[in-house]
Every structure is written in structure tokens, then in C-alpha cells.
């Protein structure tokens, strides 16, 4: 074989090998590319639609009061309590034989449960025989009392009073003076005024005689009762 043919054969062989190598590489790349699967990312959710109306503002609630500071039922009947009240009205006195009528006057001091009362009464004597009725010719009484109001609020006021004073007994021979002790109970009803303390009252009082003049030593005890209207500003 000639030398030129040998070179031609070698060149042809090298070319053929190179062609096979390039073909193999292309096939392997094609197979690798076909094995890759690209998964697309899921689409993002759409944004929420805008609110058509704004939320209402929070509603403020007032606190619930379970224990009121005072009883409205009681306070609406007595909106004002005066520190001093003047009382005036008819009065009567008796030793059990008859009744002598007259006039009573009093001044009450204090707004709370405990107070003080200055009182006076001027009465005719009991009609009848002076030997049987020790106050037949008339009676004048002046007392001071410590008082206790059992219901300082509301329209009704039961009031207890305990005190002392003097009484002047009138008689045809001149009469005399007696030291007395008193204890009484009265009921007052306060009207519903907001700028004045107005009360209507009924009461009774027991009177015990103490030291006395010789002319009136036969007076041992008697009862005093009356009605009144009181006003305080």
C-alpha cells in the first residue's frame, strides 16, 4: 500500500472518531436536558378587596352602680333640714280629772339624730273643784330636753325627749313653783319642700313633780299633750 493511501486512511479514521465523539456528547446533553422538569411557582393570591365601610368606633359604656350612696325614696321627701325649727300649736294638760287647754311653743336645734329642744306652754287650769284638780287655776311650764330622732331621714320622725324644767301653778292664794322632770314622745311628718323644713307634729309628755313650794306640794304629776306645726329656714 502506498504511503499516500495510508495517510488518507489515518485521516479518515481520525475524522470518523471525532464525528462519533461529537455525536455522543450531543446525545448525552439531549438526554440530560429532557430529564430536567421545571415546575412554575404558584400564582400569588389576589389582594383582599378594600373595605367599603369603616368599623364603627367602640361604644363607651357607663359603669353600673350597684350600691347607691343614699336611698332616693327617703331623700326626696326631705331635701333640706334646718338647724333650727320653731314649733307652735295648741296644747293641753291634765291630772286625770279634766283637761286644761292652752298654747305650746318650742324651738328645736340640730340636724342629726341627737338634738335639743327648748319648750314653753301656757294653759288654763282643769275645770272643776280646786281641791280635786291641783292645776285648777292655770299652769305655765318651761323645759329643756335632749332629743333623739329615730329616723333623721325620710318624712316620718319619731322623736324621744327627756329633760327638766320648772312649772308655775296658779291658785287663788298665789300659787307656787315646782321643779319638774319630763319624758315624752312625739311624731313629726316633714313636708317635701326643697328650701324649707316644714313639719307637722303630735306629741305627749309625762311630767313628774320635784322640789316645790309649800302651796303646790299636792301636785305630784300630770300629762301634757299637743299638736304643732314647725318651720325651719
- Residue ranges of the domains in the chain? 1-37, 80-232
Give pLDDT < 70 ranges for the chain: 1-9, 12, 14-44, 48-79, 128-131, 173
Top CATH class, 80-232? mainly beta
Q: What per-residue confidence (pLDDT) applies to 32?
A: 45
Q: What per-residue confidence (pLDDT) applies to 223?
A: 95
- Our measurement of the distance from residue 100's CA atom to the centroid of its chain's CA atoms, rounded to an integer in Å, reads 46
Q: Count the neighbouring beta carbons within 10 Å of the beta carbon of residue 199.
A: 23
Q: What per-residue confidence (pLDDT) applies to 60?
A: 58
What value, to the nearest 5°, has the Cα angle with vertex 198 and ends 195 and 202?
165
pTM over 0.85, yes/no: no
Q: What per-residue confidence (pLDDT) applies to 193?
A: 85
Amino acid at each position: 500500500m502506498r504511503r499516500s493511501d495510508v495517510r488518507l486512511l489515518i485521516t479518515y479514521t481520525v475524522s470518523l472518531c471525532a464525528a462519533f465523539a461529537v455525536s455522543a456528547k450531543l446525545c448525552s446533553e439531549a438526554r440530560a436536558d429532557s430529564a430536567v422538569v421545571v415546575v412554575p411557582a404558584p400564582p400569588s393570591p389576589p389582594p383582599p378587596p378594600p373595605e367599603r365601610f369603616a368599623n364603627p368606633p367602640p361604644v363607651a359604656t357607663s359603669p353600673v352602680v350597684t350600691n347607691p350612696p343614699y336611698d332616693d325614696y327617703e331623700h326626696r321627701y326631705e331635701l333640706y333640714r334646718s338647724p333650727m325649727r320653731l314649733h307652735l300649736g295648741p296644747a293641753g294638760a291634765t291630772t286625770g280629772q279634766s283637761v286644761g287647754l292652752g298654747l305650746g311653743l318650742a324651738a328645736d336645734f340640730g340636724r342629726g339624730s341627737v338634738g335639743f329642744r327648748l319648750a314653753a306652754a301656757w294653759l288654763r287650769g282643769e275645770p272643776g273643784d280646786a281641791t280635786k284638780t291641783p292645776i285648777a287655776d292655770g299652769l305655765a311650764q318651761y323645759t329643756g330636753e335632749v332629743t333623739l330622732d329615730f329616723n333623721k331621714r325620710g318624712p316620718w320622725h319619731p322623736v324621744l325627749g327627756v329633760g327638766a324644767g320648772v312649772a308655775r301653778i296658779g291658785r287663788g292664794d298665789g300659787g307656787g313653783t315646782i321643779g319638774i322632770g319630763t319624758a315624752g314622745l312625739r311624731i313629726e311628718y316633714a313636708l317635701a319642700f326643697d328650701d324649707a323644713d316644714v313639719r307637722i307634729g303630735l306629741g305627749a309628755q309625762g311630767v313628774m313633780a320635784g322640789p316645790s313650794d309649800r302651796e303646790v306640794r299636792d301636785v305630784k304629776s300630770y300629762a301634757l299633750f299637743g299638736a304643732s306645726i314647725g318651720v325651719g329656714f
